[in-house]
Amino acid sequence: MKKLFLLAMLQAIIILNVRGQSLHGHVHEEGENGHVPLIGASVFWLGTTIGTATDANGEFELNAPETLPAKLVVSFVGYQSDTILVKSIKKEIEVNLQKSIELDAVTVTERQQGSSFKLLDPVIAENISSMELTKAACCNLSESFETNASVDVVFTDAVSGAKKIQMLGLDGIYTQIQAENVPLIRGLSSNYGMGFVPGTWIESIQIIKGPGSVANGYESMVGQINLEYFKPDQAEKLFVNVYGNTGGRIEANIQSGYVFNEKVGMNINAHASTVLRENDMNKDGFLDIPRSQQYNVFNRWRFTGKKLMGQIVLHGLYDNKIGGQVGFRPNEGIAINGPYGIDITNRLANVFTKTGYVFDDSDMSLALITNWRYHDQHSYFGLKTYDGVQKSVNSNLIWMRGWNEDKHQLKAGVSFNYDNFDQAYNDSAFAREELVPGAFAEYTFKIDMKFSAVAGFRADYNSYFGWFYTPRLHLKYNPTENTVLRLTGGRGYRASNVFAESSSLMASSRQVNVLEKLNAEVSWNYGVSASHQFKVFGRNASVYASYYRTDFENQVIIDLDADAQTANVYNLKGRSYSNAVQADITYEPVKRFEVKVAYKWNDVWTTTNGRLQRRMLTKQHKFLTTLSYATNFNKWQFDLTANVNGPSRIPSTETNPVAYRLETESPWFFTMNLQVTKRFKWFDLYVGAENLTNFRQKNAIIAANDPYGLFFDASLVWGSQMGINPYLGLRYRLK
């Protein structure tokens, strides 16, 4: 623990990470007596929401973009705008604007894509903006991917309402999910954490396929999802969002950002939501979604200096879900002759900090990121109980240096992770403590905008599992200005927490058998992708295609194929791999009308019960179509999302009585969501409906009439239990 205190003390002398660097500059016009400062000129990075305005001296300070080079746009009423390609931020920029020729009033607008692939980054990254998130009922992170083909969101079971993601055909536990490069969903939050992040808090989401950067750790096995919350200078002075649907879900978000001066800024977000109604659309006697309540508070303070910068984020959450059979009340207790019920309570406290220092007259910086988390979970599903406490500390010290206008860049550092899990399943208690010191280095080489290579390696010693060695490589080549080819490959590791990560084991009468000591999971992931932007009949279009393969050296297998009454857990005995192919086409056939069509094929195989067979409950095919149209000045917006979902393998239920058997494969099915938004001066009003086709999985719960019997199983879920779900919402903004 001494190392943790030393790292914490180091924050007092270094402040924020490299992303905290700022660009300084001056905007003026040429007058008779020399430079005349332009007060209030707009300065922003093209394609982002990062911007500012010049002060009384015509000076500005602007946070650095995620990657360089980047285009800086400077504009002022009555003057010709200027766009500057910025390759380095170590020098101040002087901008001289020229007066415009006076013409009749003309309005020029450009509609930014809500979802796009970045052409300059060495690592393939798909960016989802806050604008894209408003196209659907994005109440939380689990609903943020409705219009995206790269990430699937599915229910873990038919009683808890929990959702998980799937990426490259594999469960979300193999995807590293972070918030501003700080661990977000891992350990106890794996089951329910997707519902712990309100959608209105998110400024953007970056989706990275493949192993990612070694600087972020070894847990990115098939991809990485990184969230960016709104910063103090990006958030409105006051933002209010209220939402309600016919399923009885009501939620409210209140957010506020304030910049006190050029050195101090703060924003605070508060969220409250509840599900009041008991929904049983399929008439099986069980709630389709649990009754729930959640309270969620987030507070950020940011401090900025010329060389020293820092921020601290405080986050607290309480979440409770009550489900099971209609009429169940938790205060009545659980009994075999009474209603079947579930009760899940999560309490979470999280503090993360970023500190760093930018050295004089050089492209060198030092940064420290720390994350302190306490998570307490208590739950029961009928007669099954699970309680867990997670205490985690993550720290990452990063040194970075660039040479020759960042054509060469070296990133190196050390990290220390501490995890303490204290868990109990039924009458069995088990605990695990992991201390993981590590070191890494990553070299980046660039030839202008044509070619870049990122090679990284890290070594970590896990006190429970031993040494982890993680090599990774990313190559990018631009044959033309609008075409990018990428090749990536690398290794990943993770420690499994079976009961914390698989609530489906709780939602059945299956006997859970952990057959041996579980080893760390190890995989290799490699892939190739291509993206191209072009014009068709003068209108913007883009195409993206990718292929990724994942091979497991070891995987923790949850085997439901031995028989329908047991779940066996063991290390991989044989082969396990996935092939994932995806193609996206985006086109704007007429002004302000965007069409996106995507197809995804998942070929995922795992050895279970001694046989190599398709991974259970994983869709082989998916077609996605989104249509988005906005009228002039975006006063009205119409968004339609349609999904065609292919079949997935259902574990064998042959050992059940005939009445409780399922087909071996799910059918194809079609879903559709629609939303209409009307924008007024001070607020937006939006109305929509989810699952317009009213599709619901039949027999989602086996033996629903006998929940304490031998054959009860609510874990074999491949579709929705909720039918059509209309909703209404309002967003109010005070700039």
Task: Enter the pTM of the model.
Answer: 0.85
Q: Assess whether pLDDT exceeds 90 at residue 51.
A: no
Q: How many domains would you assign to the chain?
A: 2
Residue 110 lies in a domain: no
What is the per-residue pLDDT for 119?
Answer: 58
Find the CATH number of the domain harbouring 324.
2.40.170.20
In terms of Cβ atoms closer than 10 Å to its own Cβ (0-12, 13-18, 19+), residue 547 is middle
Cα separation, 330 vs 309, whole angstroms: 48
Among 216, 165, 227, which Cα is nearest to 490's? 216
Cα separation, 133 vs 137, whole angstroms: 8
Q: What is the pLDDT of residues 604-629, one digit of tens each?
A: 999 999 999 999 999 999 999 999 99
Q: Give the position of tokens 């205490």.
A: 391
What is the per-residue pLDDT for 225?
Answer: 96
In the structure, what pLDDT confidence band is assigned to residue 104 with cuts at 50, 70 and 90? very low
Q: Residues 175, 433: contact at Cβ < 8 Å?
A: no
- 83 shares a domain with 123: no
Cα separation, 225 vs 205, whole angstroms: 7
Mean pLDDT comparison of 69-73, 326-330, 354-358, 689-693, highest-scoring range: 689-693
Residue 190 lies in a domain: yes
- 435 shares a domain with 297: yes
Over residues 585-597, mean pLDDT: 95
Domain boundary among 61, 96, 131: 96
Cα separation, 540 vs 533, whole angstroms: 8
Residue 688 lies in a domain: yes
Residue 397 lies in a domain: yes
Instruction: Give the range among 66-75, 427-436, 477-486 with minimum mean pLDDT.
Output: 66-75
What is the per-residue pLDDT for 272?
Answer: 98
Domain boundary among 96, 127, 161: 96
- 325 shares a domain with 183: yes
Residue 102 lies in a domain: no
- 553 shares a domain with 450: yes
Cα separation, 522 vs 492, whole angstroms: 6
- 677 shares a domain with 611: yes
Over residues 711-728, mean pLDDT: 95
- 256 shares a domain with 208: yes
What is the per-residue pLDDT for 38?
Answer: 81
Element (H, E) at 132: helix 130-133
Cα separation, 131 vs 635, whole angstroms: 14
In terms of Cβ atoms closer than 10 Å to its own Cβ (0-12, 13-18, 19+), residue 680 is exposed
Find the CATH number of the domain harbouring 91.
2.60.40.4130
What is the per-residue pLDDT for 324?
Answer: 96
Cα separation, 261 vs 422, whole angstroms: 45
Q: Give the position of tokens 């599915």.
A: 154
Among 567, 547, 460, 661, which Cα is nearest to 169's? 547
Over residues 261-279, mean pLDDT: 94
- 85 shares a domain with 14: yes
- 314 shares a domain with 187: yes
Q: What is the pLDDT of residues 58-86, one digit of tens each?
A: 788 787 776 777 888 888 766 777 888 78
Q: Assess whether pLDDT exceeds 60 at residue 25.
A: yes
Q: Assess whether pLDDT exceeds 70 at residue 16.
A: no
Over residues 580-586, mean pLDDT: 97
Q: Assess whether pLDDT exceeds 50 at residue 6.
A: no
- 176 shares a domain with 82: no
Indicate the average pLDDT of the chain.
90
Residue 107 lies in a domain: no
- 120 shares a domain with 48: no
Supply 611's token pair.
């046989």
Full domain range(s) for residue 14: 2-96
What is the per-residue pLDDT for 633?
Answer: 85
Angstrom distances, CA of residue 69 to CA of 62, 144, 403, 449, 555: 15, 29, 14, 9, 40
Over residues 642-647, mean pLDDT: 97
Angstrom distances, CA of residue 248 to CA of 239, 244, 293: 23, 7, 12
**Is the peptide bond between 667 and the residue preceding it cis, with omega within 30 degrees of 0?**
no
Residue 49 lies in a domain: yes
Q: What is the pLDDT of residues 407-421, one digit of tens each?
A: 899 999 999 999 999
What is the per-residue pLDDT for 305?
Answer: 87
When comparing pLDDT for 637 and 110, which is higher? 637
Cα separation, 574 vs 224, whole angstroms: 27
- Classify 215 as helix, strand or coil: helix
Angstrom distances, CA of residue 236 to CA of 42, 55, 230, 732: 17, 19, 9, 10
Q: Residues 666, 620: contact at Cβ < 8 Å?
A: no
Residue 271 lies in a domain: yes
Q: Residues 163, 155: contact at Cβ < 8 Å?
A: yes
- 143 shares a domain with 19: no
Cα separation, 206 vs 244, whole angstroms: 28
Over residues 277-300, mean pLDDT: 95
- 142 shares a domain with 16: no
Overall size of the chain counted in residues: 735
Among 46, 182, 31, 62, which Cα is nearest to 120's? 46
Instruction: Tell me phi and psi for residue 3, to 5 degrees.
Output: -65, -35
Domain boundary among 96, 131, 158: 96
Q: What is the pLDDT of residues 354-371, one digit of tens each?
A: 999 988 766 789 999 999
